[in-house]
Amino acid sequence: MSEAYSYLLPSVNSAFQPIVSLAHLTPLGYEALLRSSINGRPCSPIEAFRRAALVDRTGEFERECVRCHTGQFARRADHESVLFINVQPEVLIHPVHGPGLIADILGCGIPSSRLAIEVLETPLPRSQTLVDVANQLRQHGLLIALDDFGAGETNLSRVWDLRPDVVKLDRELIRQAAMSHRNARSLRRLVGLLHEIGTLVAIEGVETETEALLCLDCDADFAQGYYFGRPAPLPENGELVVTGTEHLLEDFHSTERIKPIADLVALQPYREAFRDVTHAFCMGESFADIAPRFLALPLSIRMFLLDQHGAQIDRQVESTDHPMRKQSRFPMLGRSKGANWSKRPYFRDAVSHPGEAVVSEPYVTSGSMNLCVTLAACVESGGVRYVVCGDVLFEELGSY
């Protein structure tokens, strides 16, 4: 770093926080975190980099931080742990500091297979240069991690562009998921989506046992946060103490889990009523006669009938005076004439399993803007194949 400006910049030191493998409940590695001070007074990483930017030394300061992190880790870490290093995308793509930073990392003495470059959340627009740099890092054997997914500018497009080895979910997601069963279900589906894309998933900001158990239930791969261990200097033996894992699996197996929709106790009366009215329809009763019996249940909101191609037959039968029914903001979506629901997963599932009553995942119905689940069954009546459908208000099913 230039001597002319070094006195203006904060001092640099490192702390390390364990990243725990949820399959093993032991650290697979550590994230290096900046600990800086100005004239002996601690300052935040945000303030430290702000000061570096004021004197146009962001790139040099970033490289100094990385050299500090890798130097301490190389001296003290074991031979398996992975070091996660935060790097700002602007520095990675800088024509001078980018190549210099990569050279610093590759020459730090730690095998590249044990180094994960965390691309920080930033308002930087989509950049082919960043993609090219990420590919270059990968060719050198380095791992790529994408930080703070779900916050700010870190979105699905960046996951598709960078194809990271690990996506780290922003701490706010686990906090909100722990407060709402609905959010918890969404978090589990998000983890599944990222797995389907081809990346491992780490959840940051885990501070309580409830949040740690939820990480397990969502099938996350890794977790990080105060519950498992606070950032600290790496001791001489290279191992930080990890807390909270001793009884975590035992508690996980004995606590209430996120249940499959079809297994929810509160939904069982609706499934039974749906089976009864569907059977009556198969035996020759008219759809207009069976629908009111299903709609007599407190959270049943509508029934509708589709042909074997997904086209809606006649008008749906609705509980129009239901106090929790919302009105669609788009009047056309309330029309049944001309609607075809073959794109819906419940239709495809029902057609694939004729005679069985299937249950959809929760979704917002276009006709009323309510969060519902749809019960559907592909059956025959009078020699004609139909798909019978019934919507149930999901948000009011209680503790789901």
Query: Which tens digits make up the pLDDT trace of 191-231?
Result: 999 999 999 999 999 999 999 999 999 999 999 999 999 99
Read off the pLDDT of each residue in 287-302 and give the average, rounded to a whole number: 94
> What pLDDT is stored for residue 331 in this prediction?
67
How would residue 2 be classed by pLDDT, with cut points 50, 70 and 90? very low
pLDDT at 159 exceeding the cut of 80: yes
Domain shared by 135 and 215, yes or no: yes
Residue 326 has pLDDT above 80, yes or no: no
Residue 370: is its pLDDT beyond 60?
Answer: yes
Phi, psi of 205 (to 5 degrees): 75, 25
- Residue 77 confidence (pLDDT): 86
Specify whether the backbone of 350 is left (phi greater than 0), alpha (psi in -120 to 50) or beta.
Answer: alpha
Pair (27, 54) in one structural domain: yes
Does residue 148 or residue 338 have the better pLDDT?
148
Q: Which of 254, 273, 306 is the last residue of a domain?
A: 254
What does pLDDT average to over the chain? 90
Q: What's the CA angle centered on 371, arms 369 and 376, to 5 degrees?
A: 105
Q: What is the pLDDT of residues 111-141, one digit of tens each?
A: 999 999 999 876 666 678 899 999 999 999 9
Q: How many angstroms separate the Cα of 226 from the Cα of each of 29, 150, 257, 364? A: 15, 20, 23, 36
Which phi and psi (to 5°) does residue 131 adopt? -60, -45
Query: 63-82, pLDDT tens digit by residue?
Result: 999 999 999 999 998 889 99
Are 187 and 302 part of one and the same domain?
Answer: no
Residue 241 lies in a domain: yes
Task: Give the residue with greater pLDDT, 331 vs 45.
Answer: 45
Structure tokens belonging to residue 98? 């980018």
Residue range 255-279: mean pLDDT, rounded:
90
* 9: confidence class by pLDDT, cuts 50, 70, 90: confident
CB neighbours of residue 30 within 10 Å: 27
Within this chain, do residues 266 and 223 fall inside the same structural domain, yes or no? no
CA 183 – CA 357 distance, rounded (Å) = 26
Which of 222, 254, 286 finishes a domain? 254
131-135, 306-310, 363-367: least confidently modelled range: 363-367
Q: Is residue 398 part of a domain?
A: no
Q: What would the pLDDT profile of 350-361 be if each residue is shown by its tens digit?
A: 999 999 999 999
In a domain, 42, yes or no: yes
Report the CATH number at residue 222: 3.20.20.450
Find, among 109, 111, 117, 102, the residue nearest to 80 by Cα.
111
d(CA 163, CA 92): 16
DSSP type of residue 265: G
- Same domain? For 50 and 177 the reply is yes
Nearest to residue 155, comparing CAs of 114, 125, 187, 116? 125
Which of 212, 234, 254 is where one domain is finished?
254
The closest of 52, 142, 132 to 105, measured between CA atoms, is 142
Mean pLDDT of 44-71: 93
Give domain status of residue 400, yes or no. no
| 46/134 same-domain check | yes
Query: Residue 4: what pLDDT?
Result: 43
Distance CA 104, CA 62 (A): 11
Q: Which of 121-130, 153-162, 291-300 has the lowest mean pLDDT?
A: 121-130
Reduced to 3 states, what is the DSSP secondary structure of residue 395? coil
- Contact present, 277 and 253 (Cβ < 8 Å): no
Owning domain of residue 327: 262-393
Which of 49-63, 129-143, 269-283, 310-324 is predicted least confidently?
A: 310-324
What is the total count of domains within the chain? 2
- Nearest by Cα to 124 from 145, 154, 81: 154
Amino acid type, 82? V
- Mean pLDDT calculated for residue range 95-105: 95
pLDDT in the model for residue 328: 65
pLDDT-wise least confident of 70-79, 157-166, 258-267, 314-323:
314-323
Question: What separation in angstroms does the CA of 316 have from each of 26, 119, 283, 288, 329?
Answer: 54, 50, 20, 9, 18
Residue 399 lies in a domain: no
SS3 at position 352:
helix
In a shared domain, residues 243 and 111: yes
- The DSSP call for residue 157 is H
pLDDT score at 3: 46
* pLDDT beyond 70 at 1: no
End-to-end CA distance of the chain: 56
